[in-house]
Structure 1
Amino acid sequence: MKFKKRIYRLVEKGSHGKKINLIFDYVIMSLIVLSITSIILESIKEISSDFKIFLEWFDIFSVAVFSIEYLMRLYVSNQTHPASNKFKSVLKFVFSMNGLIDLFAILPFYLPLLIKIDLRFLRTLRLIRFLRILKINRYTKSLNLIWAVLKDKKSELAVTGFVTLLLLIFASFIMYNVEGEKQPDAFPNILAAFWWAVATLTTVGYGDVYPITGIGKFVSGIMALMGIGVVALPTGIIGSGFMDRLRDDKKCPHCGKKID
């Protein structure tokens, strides 16, 4: 029981007053950053060819450390994710947000060893390694704050997203019917018009597809103007959420009064 308690204190965020816990946190954080750096360096052909063996061995080392950490978290899952029995605790951890991030951080290494995978799919699978950067969520207050704000404002963001989707679909239908006959290559179907709607509503305006008819230009102008407000809505919601959270952090948890 003492051993499990030590493991629990070690893998949880180092706020237990033990130096070893903080060292563990810093080692994992450093390894995450170095691992992401190695993935970036792999994409540079000159570096990848000269340091291929080193990068491969470093990847094996980082996966080994992350795998041990994952097993340790499985071992103490009944304390981090309490349930009626050990098996349910393990499942709660595995399917939790942090548990899935930990799993996807090491899965691309083990999966090709277990099953035969097409090389194109393997390249895509290896990109999932970038999710290792999300593991740092456990150790930084900033990322935890972002997750908390998104969770608090999920209803408002969902409504905004739904309204935006309706607007995009409506504009796509109009533009397809207005420009489809004049520009069959640019607007061959509603999905192609949907791409134009996304580029216009977000005010990106790549210029690869654009209307040439008077009505089409009018609709495009209305969409561009509406895009300013649509983009600002989620920004305002998230900004408001951050301000609420920061105000709450400055309040005393016992009396609710503002802390100077």
Structure 2
Amino acid sequence: MNNSVWEKRRKRLFELIEIGSNYNAWCWGYDFFNTFTIILNLAVSIMYTFDNMELKYGPLLLTLERLTVAFFAIDFVLRVFTAKYLYPDVSEPRAIWKYLISFSGIVDMLSFIPYYMPFFFPAGAVAFRMLRIIRIFRLFRINAYYDSLNVITEVIVGKKQQLMSSVFIILILMISSSLCMYSLENKAQPEVFTNAFSGIWWAASTLLTVGYGDIYPVTTMGKIFGIFIAFLGVGMVAIPTGIISAGFVDQYSRLKRIGEYGQEEDVHFIRIRLDKHDDWTNHRIADLHLPQRIIIAVIQRDHRILVPKGDTVLKAGDVMVIGAESFQDKDHIKLKEITLQQRNPWTNQKIRDLDISRHSIIVLVKRNKKIIIPSGNLTLLEGDTVVLYTQTYMANADDLEI
């Protein structure tokens, strides 16, 4: 097997394990199985915490866990193997390293390594078993399949500076509150507020409005200070909440503006499937001499989506999406569309024999979902849809505004 074929299959493998297209059954199937495996592994982990489920279905749960973790390991190896296509701008060793230290790479690695580590280090079995909980972060991969969930990530990333600032302020308040409460309560409760940091738990539960009640002030000044910190905590918690809420509003407003401006520009797209008899078949896009302001936006070939380039050769069976900017003018061309019935006088008549005005022009005929270019010898049949330009009134005709 030569190197080009090997790299082609390697790239195809990368397309398979990454977020695939709904048009490709294999990619869609892998995405579905990956999501199903993540949910199944999480369900097994939860069910295994119930004693009756462990006694009744213990072997089955262990088998499902082995299979799902084995899939996570295989998926990780495949992602390392195809990392060069995930980061095409760097060398292959650098691409592998970037994947390994990325959030997705760390989560993928910790999804299976803690499961196999007790076989090599039995003494740390308990610690490794706790690390398996990190496997739940693999659920973030489902986030990539839905744009609505991606908004959450975009908001957090976009507002990270403000969120970090608010968290920093809360940490400062927690430390200062702990110091103040230690000064006020140390003599009254030396066994509770033993040092400056013993009040951190009290400060966290008070500032974050949790209030467990296991640690609380007993002196008058301590109670007054506790009330003040409780009121202050309500405002502190509202800061990151307000930042995230404002980020959601900004994000959805931006998406709405994009949609509105897209409608104002009024760009039209049509889909065309090439046949082997079409003149564009087996020709490069650069050789088509398309009119200005008309572009081939995308090409669908064998359930794959291709970005068209000048040297892309069109093939029979390709589905092209052609975009064109709307023509701005004041005078609209109005066409009429009529479907011929059995008693219509045009039925079974040749176009050249029709009794129509000289100012009326038959633009096209649609028959059995096929477009026919009209000619004088074309005989109109029952069920044909005729599109024509005419100034005369025609009953049961629909107006088409161009």
Query: Structure 1-normalised TM-score?
Result: 0.92
> Runs of 5+ in structure 1 lacking a partner?
none
Instruction: Show the counterpart of 2:206.
Output: 200
Distance 1:20 1:257 in 2: 36
- The 1:250–1:4 alpha-carbon spacing in structure 2 relative to 1, beyond 3 Å, is farther
Distance 1:171 1:124 in 2: 33
TM-superposed CA distance for 1:45, in Å, is 1.1
Larger relative helix fraction? 1
Residue 34 of structure 2, aligned match among 28, 49, 53: 28
| Identity %, equivalent residues | 33
TM-superposed CA distance for 1:76, in Å, is 1.6
Q: For residue 105 of structure 2, what is the amino acid of its counterpart?
A: G
Segments of 4+ moved more than 4 angstroms: none
Residue 153 of structure 1, aligned match among 143, 151, 159: 159
Match status 1:9 vs 2:15: yes
Q: For residue 92 of structure 1, what is the amino acid of its counterpart?
A: K
Instruction: Show the counterpart of 1:69.
Output: 75
Instruction: Show the counterpart of 1:80.
Output: 86
Residue 230 of structure 1, aligned match among 236, 245, 248: 236
Instruction: Show the counterpart of 1:162.
Output: 168
Residue 257 of structure 1, aligned match among 243, 254, 261: 261
Deviates more, 1:105-114 or 1:169-178: 105-114
Q: For residue 100 of structure 1, what is the amino acid of its counterpart?
A: I
TM-superposed CA distance for 1:142, in Å, is 4.1
Deviates more, 1:7-16 or 1:36-45: 7-16
Residue 179 of structure 1, aligned match among 172, 185, 193: 185
> Runs of 5+ in structure 2 lacking a partner?
1-6, 265-402
Query: Structure 2-normalised TM-score?
Result: 0.61
Aligned CA RMSD, in angstroms, stands at 1.9
Instruction: Show the counterpart of 1:115.
Output: 121
Distance 1:242 1:224 in 2: 28
Match status 1:90 vs 2:96: yes
Instruction: Show the counterpart of 2:63.
Output: 57
Residue 47 of structure 2, aligned match among 41, 62, 70: 41
Distance 2:32 2:72 in 1: 14
Structure with greater contact order relative to length (CA < 8 Å, sep ≥ 6)? 1
Q: Secondary structure at the match of 1:173?
A: helix
Larger relative strand fraction? 2
Q: 1:167-203: CA deviations, max 9, x gaps?
A: 1111100000100110112211222211111111111
Distance 1:258 1:190 in 2: 59
Larger Rg: 2
Distance 1:32 1:226 in 2: 41
Instruction: Show the counterpart of 1:189.
Output: 195
Q: Is residue 78–residue 90 contact of structure 1 (8 Å, CA) maintained in 2?
A: yes
Residue 211 of structure 1, aligned match among 217, 240, 243: 217
Q: 1:81-104: CA deviations, max 9, x gaps?
A: 224321111111111111111111
TM-superposed CA distance for 1:258, in Å, is 6.4
Q: Is residue 42–residue 55 contact of structure 1 (8 Å, CA) maintained in 2?
A: yes
Instruction: Show the counterpart of 2:108.
Output: 102
Residue 253 of structure 2, aligned match among 235, 247, 250: 247
